Amino acid sequence: MKKFHTIMMKPVIWLFLLLSTGVSAQTAVSTGSWTPDNGNGTFKNPLMWGDWPDPDIIRVEDKFYFISTSMHYVPGCPVAVSNDLVNWTMAGYALERYNEDPRYDLKGGNKYLNGSWAATIRHHKGLFYAGFCTPEMNGEKGHFSMCTAKKIEGPWTRTIFPEYLYDPGLFFDDDGKVYVVHGQQTIYITELNSDALSVKTPQRKIYDNRSFPYLEGSHMYKVNGKYYILGSTGGTRGRQVCLRADSIYGPYESKVVIQDDHSYPGNGLHQGGMVQLKNGDWWFIIMQDRGPIGRVPNLEPVSWVDGWPMIGVNGKGVDTFPKPKVDKVSPIRVPASADEFNSSRLGLQWQWNHNPDNANWSLTARPGHLRLKAGMAANLAEARNTLTQRVEGPYSEGRVELDAAGLKPGDVAGLGVFQFPYAYVGVRQKDKGRELVMVNNDSTIAVVGLHTGKVWLKAQVYEKDFTATFAYSTDGTHFIPFGNTLKMGLGLDWTANRFALFNFNTTSEKGGYADFNWFRR
């Protein structure tokens, strides 16, 4: 009955929050989340203080859709939706799982850093199109994928191309032709067939300028009869470059349209997508690397100066600025983070580390709980069915209630902050009894005996010094600091740290199960 009463109390609390602050129910659920909406007609950057890298954006009637890179996390290609470019919620994913290689199942190896890179999104004649590249890594050939759907929520259909189109930008021209702009420093255009599901004309080189090393992340637009390609150069410390031509194949002239790192010195605003409002205004969503927290999007106004889309104001990104002028007033919203596990489907905030084994997790085996069954793994990096979501700046906290009564000897289940290195606090089942452990970079730092099946775990993430600390409770109220501090890193390049729920067994394929009652921020 405890769970029932807890759930029944929440609507009263949410209603009070709604009446007293005017925020949405989703915001009330996500109590620890950053919001850029100041509530007075202005917004502040960053737009979402978490890992939403390589953004691209479109408008379809009154709604805006934002797509992002997701690497080896599944489902892939997250898509968010907004009515005003400031308040965002998750809409879905363009990719359910990767079926092309058993290593995406963590069989015979892994696919860390592989999967979906630099996604592009467009809408044309009633269909959504989401494209991405899977990179050439470790001597293996890369490829390009196109996913299509009638509704943003899906279902999506994926087509894998034999061609490799790096950092693709999909473009539908007004004469019916379809192109992808792609490449790194050397930029190419490849024409697709009219359904955008295969190559019509092989790639054609259109630009190469050594003054713009690593020019990538290209997205193409046509404005007043001219073709514009916006891309990033210089990597993390980079700047945004615009190429402009009267013909799609050039010749192209170029201009730096923003070079600014004032909001995070050393790391410049770079790579993103541009969108036009109904009233004719243009805006740009552009990312900025913020170390182990991730590549964080900023929202910037665009001013057309001498036919060039200049980003920000007077060459600088904005800190606080009037919100875009749209027809509808949007309540304050943020992507969900907390989950009571009361639904038959996972919340859209969650992604698995590699493909999940669907036979080994459930939301129905014990209603109101997420059940993770343990598969065999030497450590957390090799464990399947590790469920993750983004950490956030400037501070974020994740808490779980874990029932470990179903664990078997060799099982380890708990809450972690995952990247390379990673750390976690969890329950380790022994032949006789169980113990609470804190593990940092695969070294066991602290151990205490645990004489109950239920325990509460907490991880706290600090953006200022990129650290994470851990604690536990045996009553759900009083938390005891446990173990040492994780110095968060980026051993997996370009991939942020994440909260992680897990259960794996170090000795047997036939482990037990862990029940997570809720995850809260």
Three-state DSSP class for residue 6: helix
| Cα 340–chain centre separation | 21
Three-state DSSP class for residue 365: coil
Task: Please give the Cα distance from 352 to 73 (Å, whole number).
Answer: 6
Is 96 tagged catalytic?
Answer: no
Instruction: List own/partner pairs for 21-29 with CB under 8 A and 24 or more apart.
Output: 22/331, 22/332, 23/331, 23/332, 24/331, 24/332, 24/333, 26/89, 26/333, 26/334, 26/336, 27/331, 27/332, 27/333, 27/334, 29/336, 29/337, 29/338
Burial degree of 111 (CB within 10 A; 0-12, 13-18, 19+): buried
Q: What amino acid occupies position 13?
A: I
- Classify residue 118 by its DSSP letter: E
Q: Among 406, 405, 399, 512, which residue's Cα sits nearest to residue 456?
A: 399
Question: What phi and psi values does residue 8 have, to the nearest 5 degrees?
Answer: -70, -25
Structure tokens at 485: 């501090």
**Strand 320-322 with 239-245, pairing:** unpaired
| Radius of gyration of the chain from its Cα atoms, rounded to whole angstroms | 23
What residues are paired with 330 via a beta bridge?
none
Provide the 10 A C-beta neighbour count for residue 199. Answer: 16
Provide the 10 A C-beta neighbour count for residue 140. Answer: 11
**Strand 56-60 with 76-82, pairing:** unpaired
Structure tokens at 469: 């600390």
Q: Which residue is associated with the tokens 């899977």? A: 134
Three-state DSSP class for residue 41: coil
What residues are paired with 122 via a beta bridge?
129
Q: Are 264 and 238 in contact (CB under 8 A)?
A: no
Is 54 tagged catalytic?
Answer: yes
Give the CA count within 13 Å in the CB-facing half-sphere of 126.
Answer: 0
Sign, Cα dihedral of 299, 304, 305, 308 = positive
- Classify residue 432 by its DSSP letter: S
Q: From the candidates 51, 84, 216, 515, which is the catalytic residue?
A: 216
Q: From the candidates 37, 51, 54, 401, which is the catalytic residue?
A: 54
Structure tokens at 173: 């021209």
Task: Please give the Cα distance from 452 to 431 (Å, whole number).
Answer: 15
**Catalytic residue positions?**
54, 216
